[in-house]
Amino acid sequence: MGKVLLGVSSSIAIYKACELVRELRKSGHEVRVVLSLFSERFISKLTFEALSGNRAYVDWEGDPLLHINLPRWSDVFLIAPCSMNTLSKVALGIGDNLLTTCALSHKGHLLIAPAGNVEMYKNPAVQENLKRLKERGVIVIEPEEGKLLCEEEGQGRLASLERLLDWVEYALRPKPWKDKRVLLTVGATKEFIDRVRFISNLSSGLLGFSLARVFRWYGAQVRVVAGFTTAEEPPEVELTRVVSTQDMRERVRELVDWADVVVMNAAVADYRPLETYAGKIKKGRRLTLELVENPDILLELGREKGNKLLVGFALEEEEGLTEKAKEKLIRKNLDVVVANPLQSMGSGSYRGKVIFREGRVVDVEAENKLRAAECIVQAITEQLL
């Protein structure tokens, strides 16, 4: 995995950096921490040494080239939290401590996550410095809105742990999908019988949301159309919610012209009740449901796809999985089909196959859906880009 240099400047949000170090290590990254002088008044470097398993640094400590060697060691340099003072120093090229001097000598990906009072953040001088940083290619992870320590409401809270981690993964990946626009459907649709009962399935949306994250990591602009999900939504991705299969069809057709690539991962209901009852059906009566077939969104897209890359998913019994998926690929005019055995729905781990039109089959087995999603995207990248 990657080598992450974490810069920590003085902010009450520094406590979140402790959990950030833990999660980065849990993801397999090696972490080293450099602190500004004043930040040690909040948390000592000893805490970060214990959490990272490496030395943490506040000053040069006898190594006159530390400000050169630490950035050279790293793949990614993330400053989180980044105070308005440190932010402005980095923007103006001021290197008056180890942290800001490391920023001056760092040649790789530099990420800055500001945290501070809303008035400080919105100050014209700070906004001008943010603009400078962005123009130089620095990734600014915008702070979030909410209640601040000073009891004021506004933008200034350090970005969530999930967003910080996601941006690190983004910075570590190559960008073969740069300038590509990916439309992705996720989750289960619901077909209502009455106001409270519906037909649906066990899809959590975990694999689809993981795919959205990975496509973004690899440089794509991603839009997601999601039905019902229980998985955590991906950060930094535009997402629209829908309910029924017909709702999803309408939204997909609105967005399809925007996309270069369409990935239809949603587990849509194939049938819907012919009649939806008003209110709630009372218990104690025999009920017969007449179902009608929903439109086949994937089949429609296959007929009209033109030069778009179209990826479908096939959920089938283990026996004959590959053959059934290949038949679906041909019948619906897909470029790629991802074949999943029934056991994969609702499961944390993953085992499936990526099947290409010319016949190549790539087996994917992973301990979690995020790793599986990356294997799927890598297979598609190697074959079709």
Structure tokens at 297: 């969104």
By residue count, the chain amounts to: 385
347 and 210 housed in the same domain: yes
Q: What is the pTM of this model?
A: 0.92
Final residue of a structural domain among 102, 137, 172: 172
Instruction: List the CATH number of the domain containing 10.
Output: 3.40.50.1950
Q: Which residues contact 50 (CB under 8 A, 6 or more apart)?
A: none
For the stretch 75-124, pLDDT in tens is: 999 999 999 999 999 999 999 999 999 999 999 999 999 998 888 899 99
Residue 296: HSE in the Cβ half-sphere, 13 Å Cα cutoff: 11
Residues 130 and 228 in one domain: no
> Does residue 189 contact residue 352 with C-beta atoms inside 8 Å?
no
pLDDT band at 151 (very low <50, low <70, confident <90, very high): low
The counts of H helices and E strands in the chain are 13, 20
Residues 168 and 211 in one domain: no
Mark whether 119 and 198 lie in a shared domain: no
Mean pLDDT of 198-202: 91
The answer to whether the beta carbons of residues 127 and 91 sit under 8 Å apart is no
Domain count, the chain: 2
Q: From CA 196, how far away is CA 376, in angstroms rounded? A: 37
Residues 98 and 204 placed together within one structural domain of the fold: no
- Concatenating the DSSP letter of every residue in 115-177 gives ---HHHHH-HHHHHHHHHHHHTT-EE-PPEEEE-TTS-EEEEEPPPHHHHHHHHHHHHS--TT
pLDDT in tens, 169-189: 999 999 999 999 999 999 999
**Could you list the residue range(s) of the whole structural domain that residue 236 is in?**
181-384
Q: Tell me the DSSP string of 68-107.
A: HHHHHH-SEEEEEEE-HHHHHHHHHT---SHHHHHHHH--
The residue whose two tokens read 């479908």 is 312
Claim to verify: residue 128 and residue 189 sit in the same structural domain: no
Residue that is last in its domain, among 153, 172, 191: 172
Q: Are residues 320 and 248 part of one domain?
A: yes
Query: Which residue, of 172, 193, 228, is where some domain finishes?
Result: 172
pLDDT-derived band at 376, boundaries 50, 70, 90? very high
Instruction: Work out the pLDDT band at 348, boundaries 50, 70, 90.
Output: confident
Q: Are residues 164 and 307 in the same domain?
A: no
Q: Report helix angle 66-73 to 98-105, nearest 10.
A: 60
What is the rounded average pLDDT of the residues 332-341? 94
Q: Examine the residue annotation and report whether 150 is marked as an active-site residue of this protein.
A: yes
Q: Which residues contact 276 (CB under 8 A, 6 or more apart)?
A: 192, 193, 194
Q: Point out the catalytic residue in the list 82, 102, 150, 375.
A: 150
166 lies in the same domain as 198? no
Strand partners, 110: 77
Nearest to 112 by CA among 182, 167, 59: 167
Kindly state the tokens that stand for 382: 């190697």
CA distance 329 to 183: 19
Mean pLDDT lowest for which of 247-251, 282-286, 305-309? 282-286
Q: What is the CA radius of gyration of the chain?
A: 25
CA distance 98 to 67: 6
- Contact between residue 188 and residue 227 where contact means Cβ atoms under 8 Å apart: yes
| CATH number of residue 190's parent domain | 3.40.50.10300
What SS3 class is residue 48? Answer: helix
Backbone phi, then psi, for 376, in 5-degree steps?
Answer: -65, -45
DSSP structural state of residue 275: S
Specify the pLDDT at position 163.
Answer: 96
Together in a domain, 313 and 340: yes
| Residues 329, 311 share a domain | yes
Q: Which of 55-69, 138-152, 193-207, 328-342 has the lowest mean pLDDT?
A: 138-152
- DSSP code string of 329-375: HHHTT-SEEEEEEGGGTT-SSEEEEEEETTS-EEEEEESSHHHHHHH
| Residues linked to residue 336 through DSSP beta bridges, in sequence order | 311, 356
Other CB atoms within a 10 A radius of the CB of residue 132 amount to 15
Does residue 156 sit in the same domain as residue 213? no
